[in-house]
Structure 1
């Protein structure tokens, strides 16, 4: 830890010396990085940020694999450092719905490797937590390795264990950018030239992002926490208050930091039915509440430490404690705690705070290098619970190019800083969405839940036509995307014998119309709106050589050919799966999925392109229709003069042609396993394209088809979905995509891929079907063999054409062989399943190639 007062140069400057900044610095130096400076506007180690006003409670279990993995890594690292108290964590149920939720917690914990998760009866809960009113609860979920981090101890340890230099009381006033690259960090003590900069500023993320010209969608929100006076029911021989921060410079009143330094001596607890949590602080109880309306702080108004307060702590607002202000909770925090912990009734508080921390629009962290500024990295919207894990991932990403934990590469699709859509930086948008995430933090959120606010932001040219057909739209990347169409409800009676009923959690927000759209497409012809997918134009004399450099398949294709490929990072894991179309001698169109794909995939291609190659990410300039089904050729031939016969327009080829009056780039590809085409056209022609096909196909019973049918059809064919089945945690060989790799060519990631192949694959993707059930399996649920968890559900759905429930998972190679019997646990039920050869539907591809 440095004692210098100033610095003029460093290879890496980390802004923020809280949990994340210190973790990144520590892990960078562990990986051999040198010349690292960490600066913070507050004193060290108590900076006045959220890291040191937080109570440090760590519940590790999450429906998100990466959140669970990073939490467990954090708990192990900080336990070894002596800064983590492993007392266990108990989540309570006061309703049957919550008990169902706790069963899911057990399943997620088993899937993601947390040790010994278990459900508890009420009397077992009170054995651990004797002050709980047993009559108020139905049971609990116990994770024995949960606990609490001592923030002061952890930050001090990081600083002492790291070779980085730390500078407190140093305010950053600007980040200088030139030529799209970081040049320096300007502070009130001078300018620090650097090659890399990491934003680890959490509550101040929006402000520091603005210094670099970024609109980071990160919302500060107030959160209430109190510590009671001494309780008679708690022994007095607890850790004393008043000496944990001796000799340290503490912004404002030391009471908060002192209280947070006291370790709990029994499990930490949560009452999520009332948005509450709690732990002991010596002879008092700490009570935390999300049970109030969202108290959003203007991200431009996050201030500095003063003599009166820490920068990220606001005054306690008693009305949010004594009144029921949460839109989805009937009881106030005071009432709910009085019922659950009667010993706290009428007790005074020796510490109170409205502490500030942050939320993103989707509730997930913001990690990675920004697209617009080279060398500017982010480690934001991260709590203590996950801080060491994400610090390790970010450090690995910066140093090796491969985001990973010691257990292996991780999937970054849901945490990447580049995942946000263009409108996400609007302050009204991201503060409203951040407020909603705060409101939901302890709520039971239904599968496929959809927000009501900020809808209709991005619509395809077909949107009005879709609404006229009764489209039920979901939001994806801001786009309104039809999931199914009420227009097709009339087909339900026709196919009802082929549509198993889905009950309980598996059936929430599903419609039988999704099934009939699937079955109708297999028999007739349907149109699917693919406008959320993006085209990326790659042009120039060296375009072909460049694509060969970034693509794993052989890109030596002729004009008019189409090729499927993956794009890999240096570690050989999958950044994207792409379709590449050669339009002309030096002109290619690369297509990728919707959602966060344009920002992540498009920017990767842009930043790797040489000056001789032009890359244009066409996120919205083209609209796209998928025309699929046995009658698709008959319909398409009616509206074009081009030859669309199998001989004249073979599978995986393309043509630039007209559909009626509309110029299109037509690709003979299909994501549903049927004869069909993707039709790409300039957006202004979209309505005409839809009308032309719709009117010409009436006698063929043409129908619109939504995303629900697409998902079940692609699972039957085993087509992969980036961010679900494949991502930066697997390579294409493990993912069953060897046909997308040509090791005779040279590409980014080849060396790692060859090494993986030579070492042998220790796991592989596997397709399962349930032996005797039609229930749909949900993601994140454990797959077991002889009682041991060997994998988890990556994707599940029902195959209406094959009449079987389908699961995709990754299994140890020994078990990933057809015929292996396994079990899947979902919603407390155990299902027998069998590994199958894929694809399950039309393995000879007779339907596609005809």
Structure 2
């Protein structure tokens, strides 16, 4: 086969390949829906894993949907270790496809270049380059003059510098899809084109789980053990028909093609100028592909149904919308004019509510796996995502920490069309927006809030959003607009949060923690199920709480939560805000035919917490009979009424100070809050926000799901062995006993920075005698410690484990903006 090239008159390239005729089966082990780059990659990896009776279904022709008009760039470095591993796998796979399958994927290892046209952007690129070392991606910080080596036509007058990534490259998207499909077919996968999947078929179990058992097509039904949905922007409508939420929605995405430009060579790196929202790369004939990610984009107005006949199609050119980006291209690349352009490409692409793609089993389903919502990075992600999709299915769960892309992170309302259309208009632009620490979404806000929202607003709160909840991040002084001024150094709320922390540490504070997810789990078998799922002993006396982890068979974390035993067979469960669907799904799927039921009561209860040395005195003033002055035992529970509503008071704390969480029915929330404020007025009680809570929990070394706790870590590595009851059986126990016997290779460590002026934000490299041994999982300025504090997992660079002596006798540093700062290291917190 002759080499196919990208030319100004054939780009985007339509792949031409004849698929052998295949009879539509009545039964398959796996049905993959969607023949784009993702579906082909998944099919390829099923073949490599030796799976038989696998069918890939495409409603039109392979690569004819979103894939064919993709830019084709393969950048390796992502925002997390796991997502970077996904993209690295893509690059490795694409590089070997031609030799392996005999079909040219168009891989070219041309490298990648990111430009900085401001000091703030250079800070971000320096952070990115530092983490590249941790993630095993080669990255080099270069000067504006060095950038000219790769693009002589570059205007460097306003550049501060750049980062060059030699391992990046590009493919021909359609040809890469055909190459993957060829490899799949060589491994026994059957590909059927021109078959439209119209519905998912399923039955519901007694526990409320949808068991997907196949698909209904325009050519008959196919029963299947597994249905893998890889149809990108078509997935949502199939899910809606079955009552399954798959929150993706298409936006218009533009690029233009130029005729050959003098001086442009095909080996020039794929380049991004994020401050202007631009990307550009060379074609094989010396032409250019000039694209953009504007701050706000236009959703494709197709209602809830993407046309099935939209194949190898594009939308109408939109020069007015591309006017500003094109002017920026002409500024950045000397010699580009409007007359250089020969083609305008406007193609819809699927985006998710948070700019991370989607993988996994939708909540309360079995036999269904989703892989899509690529946010315009499908070519870069899909090769590796196919590998981890098959691993996930084979192993009954993710094999590394892919929580950031797990579909169970989304709440049903996030699949609403109005919400999605507004949100994805912002998400497209996030590709090149500044990755500020704590950056908040601006669209689709105000969806969920506690009963205290208006009170917080009146107290000058600045709100952030998690899982749709509006949460008070901090309280600005009166007369100052509560708006964050983002920075990589210290943000404008720094001193206000210091005051909030001091109030809680030295006196008393009131917190709104209503966004915790909450369930009632009850039934004759409820205790046995919890004993099986949880590492700690749940069989405690009534009105006691238990902190526990939930683990998978590998002994790594699925979640951590608090369980309150309300009666012999009834349990009140409290877990993280972002875990609402994931934990509910995990517990529900383990009920089976046993006698137990779980109910989500997240929005039925608010949580008002009173924390600090004077918390007991405030609550004594509130109700002296329930809260006598003498300290209560940690984990104890007390009940009382307010406005005829029962309040559950839990003696727990996530900030490391004496305190109580008061779980109150929504109707009585404001009355309780006002009563606490009145009772604490003499002590100077004040509200504090989530930034203060975060700083205090990091100061105390309290672990958090999604940071220190994930499917990559065990409780032993996290230093939470005390919360395991070894005398009972539970999921993951065998793996933990084995690790206990073999010894720990990595440990979670607390750090305190020597330099008091530097603010850490998390995800910074950790060095042991100059060698990178890990990165910070959480970090913050610690007001009590007087310097930045952090946590992170490290490995001994000399092999073996990590001991206290190792921490005491060696030098540790944390890297920020390419500078290494000395830090103290300890297994215990510094506060």
Question: Fold match, TM over 0.5?
Answer: yes
Residues 337 and 371 (structure 1), Cα distance of their counterparts in 2 relative to 1, 3 Å cut? same
Residue 124 (structure 1) aligns with: 146
1:67 counterpart = 2:83? yes
The one of 181, 193, 200 equivalent to 1:168 is: 193
Which residue is equivalent to 1:51? 67
**CA-to-partner distance for each residue in 1:441-476, whole Å, 9 max, x for gaps?**
212143222334333221212222222222222122
Paired residues of 1:361 and 1:433 also in contact (CA < 8 A) = yes
Distance 1:489 1:670 in 2: 32
For residues 111 and 640 of structure 1, the distance between their equivalents in structure 2, rounded to whole angstroms, comes to 53
What is aligned with 1:748? 731
Mapped contact 1:63–1:780 kept (Cα < 8 A): no
Q: Which among 141, 159, 164 is matched to residue 142 of structure 1? A: 164
Correspondence for 2:463: 473
Tell me: CA distance 1:782–1:70, structure 2 relative to 1, closer, same or farther (3 Å).
Answer: same
Are residues 591 and 305 of structure 1, via their aligned partners in 2, closer, same or farther at CA, if it must alter by over 3 Å?
Answer: same
- CA contact under 8 A between 2:426 and 2:443: conserved in structure 1? no
Residues 620-645 of structure 1: per-residue CA shift (max 9 Å, x gap): 11111111111111222233354545
CA contact (8 A) 1:201 1:208 kept: no
Partner of 1:260: none
Deviation at 1:387, TM superposition (A): 1.2
Q: Deviations over 1:367-423 (max 9, x none)?
A: 11111432222111121111122222222221102313xxxx2241x2111111232
Alignment match, 1:238:
none
Residue 674 to residue 273, structure 1, CA distance change in 2 (3 Å) = closer
**Cα deviation, residue 134, structure 1:** 4.1
Structure 2 CA distance for partners of 1:232 and 1:747, relative to 1, 3 Å: same
Q: Give the whole-Å Cα distance in 2 for the aligned partners of 1:686 and 1:231.
A: 66
Deviation of 1:785 after TM superposition, in Å, equals: 2.7
After superposition, what is the alpha-carbon deviation per residue over 1:414-437, rounded to whole angstroms, capped at 9, x for unaligned?
A: 211111123212211111111111
Q: State the partner residue of 1:829.
A: 819
Aligned to 1:363: 355
Counterpart Cα distance in 2 of 1:431 and 1:113: 36
Change beyond 3 A, Cα 1:315–1:488:
closer
User: Match for residue 317 of structure 1?
Assistant: 318
Corresponding residue for 1:396? 391
Matched, 1:512 2:495: yes
Which residue is 1:620 aligned to? 603
Matching residue within 293, 297, 310 for 1:294 = 297
Identify which of 9, 28, 48 aligns with 1:10: 28
Q: Is the 8 A contact 1:366 1:378 kept in 2?
A: yes
Cα separation, 1, equivalents of 2:612 and 2:359: 41
Contact persistence 2:707–2:778 (CA under 8 A): yes
The Cα offsets for residues 602-661 of structure 1, whole Å up to 9 and x where unpaired, read as 121122124301111212111111111111112222333545458784211223333585
CA separation of 1:752 and 1:24: change in aligned 2, threshold 3 A: farther
Alpha-carbon separation, structure 2, partners of 1:280 and 1:744: 63
Task: Report if the CA contact (8 A) 1:671-1:719 is conserved.
Answer: yes
Q: How far apart are 1:669 and its partner, in Å?
A: 0.9
Q: In the alignment, what sits opposite 1:498?
A: none
Which secondary structure does the structure 1 equivalent of 2:26 belong to? coil
Match of 1:251 in 2: none
1:568 Cα deviation after fit = 1.1
Q: Distance in 2 between matches of 1:31 and 1:410?
A: 21
- Give me the TM-score of the superposition, normalised by structure 2: 0.89
Q: Residues 10 and 37 of structure 1 are in contact (CA less than 8 Å); yes or no, is this contact kept in structure 2?
A: yes
Q: How far apart, in 2, do the equivalents of 1:682 and 1:169 lie?
A: 54
Does residue 384 (structure 1) correspond to residue 384 (structure 2)? The answer is no
Corresponding residue for 1:352?
A: 344
- Aligned match for 2:279, one of 264, 277, 280: 277
Alignment CA distance shift 1:648-1:122 (3 Å): closer
Match of residue 137, structure 2, among 99, 114, 117: 114
Decide whether aligned partners of structure 1 residues 620 and 573 sit closer, same or farther in structure 2, where only a CA change above 3 A counts.
same
The separation in 2 between residues aligned to 1:467 and 1:372, in whole angstroms, is: 36
Match of 1:463 in 2: 453
Which deviates more, 68-77 or 439-448?
Answer: 439-448
C-alpha separation in 2, matches of 1:504 and 1:298? 36
Say whether residues 1:557 and 2:540 are aligned partners: yes
Deviation at 1:550, TM superposition (A): 0.6
* C-alpha distance in 2 between matches for 1:344 and 1:452: 34
Tell me the secondary structure at the aligned position of residue 802 of structure 1. coil
Task: Rate the CA distance shift 1:102–1:648 in 2: closer, same or farther, 3 A.
Answer: closer
Q: Secondary structure at the match of 1:805?
A: strand
Q: 1 CA distance for matches of 2:338 and 2:782?
A: 58
Is contact 2:68–2:312 with CA below 8 Å preserved after alignment?
Answer: no
In 1, Cα distance between equivalents of 2:735 and 2:51: 22
Change (3 A) 1:227 1:761: same
Q: Following TM superposition, by how much is the alpha carbon of 1:189 offset from its aligned partner in structure 2, in angstroms? A: 1.4
Note if contact 1:659-1:692 (Cα within 8 Å) is conserved in structure 2.
Answer: no
| Structure 1: runs of 5 or more not aligned | 236-263, 325-331, 491-501, 842-850
Partner of 2:28, secondary structure, is coil
- The 3 A distance-change label for structure 1 pair 26 and 645 is farther
**Equivalent residues of 1:102, 1:140 under 8 A apart:** yes
Q: CA deviation at 1:556?
A: 2.2
* 1:103 and 2:126 aligned: yes
Deviation, structure 1 residue 301 = 4.7
Distance 2:722 2:45 in 1: 37
Q: CA RMSD in A?
A: 2.4
CA distance in 2, matches of 1:176, 1:402: 23
Asked if 1:231 is matched to 2:258, the reply is no
Which shows bigger deviation, 533-542 or 32-41? 32-41
- Does 2:177 correspond to 1:155? yes
Residue 11 of structure 2 corresponds to none
How far off is 1:350 after superposition? 4.4
Give the SS at the match of 1:81: helix
Inter-partner Cα distance in structure 2 for 1:95 and 1:265: 27
Normalised by the length of structure 1, the TM-score is 0.88
Q: 2:66, 2:289 → 1: CA distance?
A: 17
Contact 1:726 1:735 in 2 (8 A): yes
User: Alignment partner of 2:657: what SS?
Assistant: coil
Structure 2 residue aligned with 1:242: none
SS at match of 1:342: coil
CA-CA distance at 1:544 after TM superposition? 1.0
The residue number in structure 2 matching 1:410 is 401
2:440 is the alignment partner of 1:450? yes
Residues 788-835 of structure 1: CA deviation (Å, up to 9, x unaligned): 321111111122223232111110054564323211111233211121
CA 1:31–1:640 in 2, change beyond 3 Å: closer, same or farther?
A: farther
**TM-fit CA distance, 1:576:** 0.7
Residue 20 in structure 1 maps to residue 38 in structure 2: yes
Judged with a 3 Å threshold, the aligned counterparts in structure 2 of structure 1 residues 757 and 30 are, in CA distance, closer, same or farther, namely: farther
Residue in structure 2 matched with residue 206 of structure 1 by the alignment: 236
Cα separation, 2, equivalents of 1:340 and 1:544: 64
Instruction: Name which of structure 1's ranges 91-100 and 689-698 shifts more when overlaid on structure 2.
Output: 91-100
Structure 1, 127-136 or 352-361: larger mean CA deviation: 127-136
Q: Distance in 2 between matches of 1:761 and 1:208?
A: 45
CA contact under 8 A between 1:626 and 1:676: conserved in structure 2? yes
Residues 655 and 696 in structure 2, CA contact (< 8 A), matched pair in contact too: yes
